[in-house]
Amino acid sequence: MTLRDRGPIAGAFSRPESNVEASFTGRRGFKRAQGRCLGEKEGDVEGDEEGGEQLVALIVALIVAFLVAFPTPVFCGHLDRPRSREDPGPPVSDGVQLELERLAFWSSDDIAPLVRKRNMAPRHWRVTAESHTDPPHILMTSFLHCLGNFIGLKTLYARQVNFTQEGLAHLCRISPLAEIVINWCGVFPGETIDTTSLQLRTKKLRYLADDDQHRNVWLSIVDREHLRDLEAGGSASVADGTMSDGPAFPNVHDLKFNANLSTIDQDLTLLSKFPAVCALRLLACGDFHHESTDLSSLCASDVLPLLREYRGLCALLHIFLPKHTLTRLIIDVCQPGEFISQLHREYDHITMLNLDVNALDQDALSTICGRFPALLDLQVYIFADIGEGEYQDGINPVATDFFSAFASDTPGLPSTLQRLAISWDFHFQRLHSDESEDEPVASLDKIPDFLASGRSLGGNARR
């Protein structure tokens, strides 16, 4: 079956209800699928005077069903397969031809409008400095030229793709996308990008890399009015880049970005450009200098007036905690004392707390719960990796304190609490060299009563 010989299949694909998210296996894979369909069903219609028509209809139905079951198509923007004397691999020219065949199939008039998701990635992840690649541009140029055929495309994932001005222009001409994921993508060496002539419309943009220069290219061309969800990676201060220039992002509801702790006061001032954010995920790099960083103006400001969920560092919690719109806290791993130091009064607007700590006793639990009297949902996770000499009579003291805090008759939990989930990741008892961590603990005399009796804590152990 050639790419031109599609006959009745083309008619089936053109039906509005044939709305598929397809993955490409290539023309050969398509023929193998057809052969399997024939092999399985040919006997059912043999001898029937209308067998020919029934067989065609059956093939069409099975192939359409087969395509519907496919995952997302992957197009290799370039070949990048490390070679060795032991495993030289196929010639690069063969790989290029195969990818061009794939592209011809998926970009055809019958198939392209049905595709909802596309992946652009190298054939293999770059694992060595020495690799053989196809001639520059040959595959990427071909793909970008036919990008406009995918009129129903909703999601585009690109990894390790170097774009040109022409390629970005093709991408910007697509109808608005639901999501674009950019993973370590850059610009062809020597290529100059004129961002003023480009505007990329998407509801969700995720930039997954520490490359600040190329991050700024994408932030320069994205349509800020259309954007609803933004994840901006990078390691340098976002205040030094494009995010601080130009208009605001007035409709972004979910924001995730890396803040540089050494310039955190500058980075957080950018939050004023996101007036509609409801959920903030704040990642961080660098060192936080409490003494030299003045965040008092931010604490008293009206940035993020609609914020409902904060997820991030404990050290920055005091900036957002006073906001009465805030109801959900998801705090990165910290020490209980560090978290408690951020709590200066009762916060009855907080109804959900997810806390990761490296230790927790009854006093800390009671203090924390006392600051959140209206909690409906409390989730606590503890990770404690103690040294060999820190066990007490073979028992992990951190584990004992943790379990005892929740096993107490008066743990100090809020009366409003509807859900309690606790999880942990540590050894309760020291394992000797001849013991397996999968074996049951032998000496039960050191285990608290509530564990030995199997008392339910409403949680689980993470492994």
Distances, alpha carbon 304 to alpha carbons 323, 325, 352, in Å? 9, 10, 19
Mean predicted confidence (pLDDT) in 39-49: 46
Lowest mean pLDDT among 101-105, 154-158, 242-246, 260-264: 242-246
Residues facing residue 395 across a β-bridge: 392, 429
The residues, any chain, with a CB within 8 Å of residue 246's CB and separated by 6 or more, are: 224
Residue 62 vs residue 116, higher pLDDT:
116
Amino acid at the residue 187: V
pTM over 0.85: no
User: Could you report the per-residue pLDDT of 227-236, keeping only the tens digit for each?
Assistant: 999 998 766 5
Mean pLDDT for the stretch of residues 259-276? 81
- How far apart, in whole angstroms, are the C-alpha atoms of residue 320 and residue 317? 6
Give 26's pLDDT tier (boundaries 50, 70, 90).
Answer: very low
Q: Are 231 and 238 in contact (CB under 8 A)?
A: no
Mean pLDDT value of segment 409-414:
74
Mean pLDDT of 136-154: 78
Average per-residue pLDDT for the chain:
72
Question: Which residues contact residue 293 at a Cβ distance below 8 angstroms, ignoring those fewer than 6 apart?
Answer: 264, 265
Q: What is the pLDDT of residues 321-372, one digit of tens each?
A: 999 999 999 999 899 999 999 999 999 999 999 999 988 888 888 999 999 9
Q: What is the pLDDT of residue 460?
A: 44
Instruction: Please report which confidence band the pLDDT of residue 15 belongs to, taking 50, 70 and 90 as the band edges.
Output: very low
Q: What is the number of residues in the chain?
A: 463
283's enclosing H/E stretch is strand 279-285
DSSP state of 365: H
Residue 232's contacts (CB-CB under 8 Å, 6 or more residues apart) are: 207, 215, 219, 238, 243, 256, 257, 258
pLDDT at 388: 65
Two tokens at 185?
């993508």
Which CA distances in Å does 324 have to 114, 262, 348, 366, 408? 46, 28, 9, 23, 32
Q: Measured between alpha carbons, how far is 296 from 15 in angstroms, rounded to an integer?
A: 60
Q: What is the pLDDT of residue 99?
A: 79
Nearest to 326 by CA among 347, 341, 344: 347
For residue 158, how many other CB atoms are within 10 A of its CB?
20
For residue 168, pLDDT beyond 50: yes
Q: Are residues 139 and 78 in contact, defined by beta-carbon separation less than 8 angstroms?
A: yes
Looking at per-residue pLDDT, the higher value among 180 and 176 belongs to 180
Q: Confidence class of residue 253 from pLDDT cuts 50, 70 and 90?
A: very high
Q: Cα torsion at 6, 95, 87, 28 (round to 10°)?
A: 0
To the nearest 10 degrees (0 to 180), the angle between helices 138-145 and 92-106 is 0
Q: Is the pLDDT of residue 302 over 50?
A: yes
Question: Residues 46-69: pLDDT tens digits?
Answer: 445 566 677 767 666 666 555 554
